[in-house]
Amino acid sequence: MNASPEDQRRLVDLADLDARIRQAEHARRNPPQAAKVQELLAHRQRLSQELTIRLGMRDDLRTELSRIESDVAVVDARSARDAQRLAASSNSKEAQGLESELASLARRKSDLEDAELEVMEKLEQAERAVTEQEQLIAQTNAEGASLSAEAKRVVAEADTAYDAATRDRAALAQNVPAALMAMYERIAARGTGAAPLVARTCGGCRMVLSGTDLNLIRQASDDTVVTCPECGCILVRSDESGL
């Protein structure tokens, strides 16, 4: 195929725009923050599961403490009742029985108060554990929100770059002959469509051409469209080609 050197040079600009379009498309579909956001979501799920466990332990201790407090109240009520009966009793045998029961109730209350203190200490630890876990989740949420905002910014910039490059490509493609454009599109569908030949090196695959290939290119006229023997992209020649 033949095409003017000027039209061939347009292909290099076209290839550059295509590369920018691909980069912008990748950036808006896969912002660099996306993977980290997914990691944070998984991490938050694990933190939430641990929080559920800690909340369950705290609630069990609260229930246990409430039960002990209720038992203490029952013992206090019985002790008050027995004390009143003892004060009003004139029967020595009944008085002995009431005194014995009061002593038993006092021991029961002492045991309950010891248990109450132990549960209260455990509950305090459980409350701290819940608070610490909630803080970790809050920090993770804040980091995730920050990353999500950054990802949205990156996507917005990529959208702008994509739209600009697409418009520029359409305008440039109008100035490329149809046959040359068709050839470029066919090659670009499987790789780099066109690239400059600089210092005997293909700008598409970065391979240095052999002496035989360079001789063939030297012999080709300026309007002959030549391709890289390695990657097949259209090679655009210039004073820097090293021919």
Q: pLDDT band for position 16 (50/70/90)?
A: very high
Average pLDDT in the 56-78 region?
A: 96
Q: What is the Cα–Cα distance from 201 to 220, expressed in whole angstroms?
A: 17
Neighbours of 73 (CB within 10 A): 11
pLDDT tens readout for residues 169-226:
999 999 999 999 999 999 999 999 999 999 999 999 999 999 999 999 999 999 999 9
Q: pLDDT band for position 45 (50/70/90)?
A: very high
Residue 66 has pLDDT above 90, yes or no: yes
Task: Return the beta strands (E) in the chain as ranges.
Answer: 194-198, 201-202, 226-227, 234-236
Residue 239 DSSP label: T
Question: Average pLDDT over the chain, rounded to whole?
Answer: 94
Q: pLDDT band for position 163 (50/70/90)?
A: very high
Q: pLDDT band for position 89 (50/70/90)?
A: confident
**Residue 101, Cα to own-chain centre: how many angstroms?**
66
Residue 243 has pLDDT above 80, yes or no: no
Per-residue model confidence (pLDDT) at position 168: 96
Residues 6+ apart with CB under 8 A from 15: 184, 188, 192, 193, 194, 195, 233
Average pLDDT in the 115-134 region?
A: 97
Average pLDDT in the 4-18 region?
A: 95
Q: pLDDT band for position 242 (50/70/90)?
A: confident
pTM of the model: 0.66
pLDDT tens readout for residues 133-162:
999 999 999 999 999 999 999 999 999 999
Residue 4 has pLDDT above 80, yes or no: yes
Catalogue all structural domains in the chain, each as residue range(s) with its CATH number. 5-26+174-236 (no CATH), 29-158 (1.10.287.1700)
